[in-house]
Amino acid sequence: MSDEQRRRGEADSADPTLDKDKPLYVISVAAELVDMHPQTLRLYERKGLIEPSRSAGKTRLYSQRNIEQLREIRRLTQELGVNLAGVEEIIRLRQKLDVLQQRIEDRIGSLQERLQLELKGARALPAPAADDEETPPVDAAGEDDEALRRGLEHLRDDL
């Protein structure tokens, strides 16, 4: 990490030991790191755009993740011209997308496991005789697929 990065509080993203949620910075330092006024950070907290931790004495403490969120809010408002209502909506939709993404990844993982088990079972079976009829497999997870499809359609409607 360069001296400039260290001074500005930028984390080395290659460092897996860094806890991005660890409360590190008081409001004045956080505001300086993101080039904002401390009152702006208080406003963002009131609007629910950011949620810093609190010390025992109720002092706001910002984590590296909070700093990244503040930089993204600044990018949206200053570079892209999005108002705070738009930023709130973007954050809400991103969170919803993250939940759906996790559900999809979980579903893919369970389908991969199921496929592996079925392949192992198929390898253990003797080869079918020429006169055996094949029956199509029953999809026991069809209801889950339908629920996931409805969730994705709902997200698409929100966008």
pLDDT at site 7: 46
Number of alpha carbons in the 13 Å side-chain half-sphere of residue 50: 30
If we measure between CA atoms, which residue out of 55, 7, 16 comes closest to residue 35? Answer: 7
Two tokens at 117? 């088990």
pLDDT at site 132: 56
Domain-by-domain residue ranges, the chain?
3-82, 83-123+145-159
Q: Report the distance separating Cα 14 and Cα 66, nearest Å.
A: 18
Residue type at position 36: M
pLDDT at site 1: 47
Q: Report the distance separating Cα 38 and Cα 33, nearest Å.
A: 11
Q: Report the distance separating Cα 55 and Cα 63, nearest Å.
A: 12
Q: Report the distance separating Cα 158 and Cα 155, nearest Å.
A: 5
pLDDT at site 56: 93
Please list the pLDDT of the chain residue by residue as tens digits (159 residues).
444 544 444 544 456 567 999 999 999 999 999 999 999 999 999 999 999 999 999 999 999 999 999 999 999 999 999 999 999 999 999 999 999 999 999 999 999 999 999 888 888 777 666 665 555 555 555 566 676 666 667 655 655
CB 33, CB 9: distance < 8 Å: yes
The H helix count followed by the E strand count for the chain is 6, 3
pLDDT at site 6: 46
Domain 3-82: give its CATH architecture: Orthogonal Bundle (1.10)
Q: Could you tell me the pTM of the whole model?
A: 0.59
